[in-house]
Chains A and B, each alone.
Chain A
Amino acid sequence: MEIRVNPTRMELNRLKKRLSMARRGHKLLKDKQDELIRQFILLVRKNKELRERIEQELAGAFAEFLLARAVMPLEVLEEALMYPTRDFALSVHKQNIMSVYVPRFSWQEKTAEQGDAGIYPYGFVDTSAELDISIETLSGIMPELLELAQLEKAVELLAAEIEKTRRRVNALEHVLIPKIEETIRYIAMKLDENERGALTRLMKIKDVVRAKT
């Protein structure tokens, strides 16, 4: 499975250069992969921790919300929550981890333009205090949720990059480098063969010339 080339010395030199290049590339990519994996594992650990915590908190918040729902008519609940007091302004920047651009969120919670609106956009008469509790929990979780979104995306992008790098490393290690080596061996053999051929021819000619004299 060698590369089809003319078995010439020039080609041999070219291939040797390519081989050393491929080896250097392989080493670099391998280093990159190692570092990516290291970063990836750090992120994944953080992600898992955060995710477990948020899932627990969310389960609690949903349970509280359910209780609020159970003691309030649907229409009243909808009315209470239909106009939020908070606006979320989210801007996305890029952060470079090993030349992978992962998103970085920064956010700003905006309250109503004036007045002292709290996080609770409703009055007290028809609403249950159980709704207060779930709104409070949910509002506390919001920054963490954004953090999680950011982490999960970073992990996803890193995973894709690792996959890509792994393919490249493998392609270099198992395909390109062996192929070049094979070809080099082939050319070397061919050149040796030619040399031996030339040598024998010379010896033969020498014999013929000597026999004539």
Chain B
Amino acid sequence: MTLARDTSFAYAVGRIRALETRLLDRSKLERMIDAASADEAIKILAETDYGSAVAELAAVHDFEEILQREMALTLAELEKMSPQKDLIALMRLRYDVLNLKILLKAKYLQVKAELLLPLGTVPLSTLQAMVDEERFRDLPGPLRSALDRIMEEFPLTRDPQMIDLALDRVLFEQLMAEAARLQSPFLKGLFARQIDLINLKTFIRVKRMERDRDFFKKAVLPGGRLPLDRLISLFDEPLDALHGQLSRTDYATLIEEGVRGWMEKGSSALLEKLADDYITTYLQRGKRSAFGPEPLIGYLWAKEIEVKNIRLILVGKINKLSADAIRERLRDVYL
């Protein structure tokens, strides 16, 4: 089956056009940043679409509930309007993977898993049962074999990082495979770009952790637009070589500014912001398409960024972070 390139998305795209207007714009976020306290910021949030959720909020500190609910609502709504359900299921896959990571670690720690995100494709109780019984038959093939491998290897190494690395890798392999199955160059482009950005961040992070090339090989994700062997061969060279090598790609400015900011301020904030903004820009290009899944995926990303921004502002406000520190990390909005 391929992604329909016809009018079947027309209704959904129309709905999205209406929903997009209700996304928080930059000025609302700015007002929240300038609010005197977390309570004030929440009040500004209450004037928006989040109003009803805010009204039920017991304390400012429980704001994560609002954000989680908003993501759940957004995903459910997209699922309802999308003519192709598996498109949204694909976007939910990362939550399944996150929940699996939590469940697996909880299993090995012999504690009860808490704080699961009910946003995945598989109900939490089913996932819990799968992990309890170590039977992953109902999951997609690559995920199942990755889980079987973890089940075999973890008791030997007891290295929790391995769980994350293996599952992250299989998640993106699965995403790329699905994008190919749906024959959607747009989705493929999106995931490949996400992989590239994660790889670039991983590159610098692993370097800063002073781990060796073999470890980087394990941490890096295949399937991106940048050839893997080039990244790996660059690993032993100084960091400056990286943006020299990337100067011909469209990651050039992002890497140059982001890495410079990182080296000067010792904080990855700028690079991470620029990476998210890069994806936003990529998705904005597909925003005006009237007959495809692009606006849906774009809207979902816009919501994710919005939730990220709200979380950033509220955590910042609750903990009295300076407005500059918040603004520095604020992602561009999709509008």
Contact = CB atoms under 8 A, between A and B. Distances in A.
A90 interface: no
Interface string A55-75: 000000000001101110111
A209 interface: no
A114 interface: yes
A121 interface: yes
Contacts, number: 136
A79 B329 contact: no
Contact of B64 (A73, A85, A114, A122): A73
Given A114-B158, A122-B164, A129-B201, A69 B102 contact: no
Given A125-B168, A128-B268, A78 B198 contact: no
Contacts of B325: 67
Contact of A112 (B67, B158, B272): B158
Given A79-B101, A115-B157, A124-B201, A130 B269 contact: yes
Contacts of A74: 64, 115
Nearest to A72: B311
A117 to B, nearest CB: 4
A140 to B, nearest CB: 13
Given A70-B316, A75-B117, 7 more contacts: A70-B329, A71-B272, A82-B102, A82-B160, A113-B157, A125-B221, A129-B208
Interface of A: 66-67, 69-71, 73-76, 78-80, 82-85, 112-118, 120-126, 128-130, 132-133, 136
Interface of B: 64, 67, 94, 98, 101-102, 105-106, 108-109, 114-117, 156-165, 167-168, 171-172, 198, 201-202, 204-206, 208-209, 211, 215, 219, 221, 262, 266-269, 271-272, 308, 311-312, 315-316, 319, 321, 325-326, 329
24 contacts: A67-B267, A67-B329, A75-B98, A75-B115, A75-B116, A79-B105, A83-B109, A83-B160, A85-B160, A113-B156, A114-B156, A115-B157, A116-B159, A117-B157, A120-B161, A122-B161, A124-B164, A124-B201, A124-B219, A126-B94, A129-B204, A129-B271, A132-B205, A133-B268
List the 4 closest A-B pairs by CB distance, nearest first: A123-B164, A129-B268, A83-B160, A115-B157
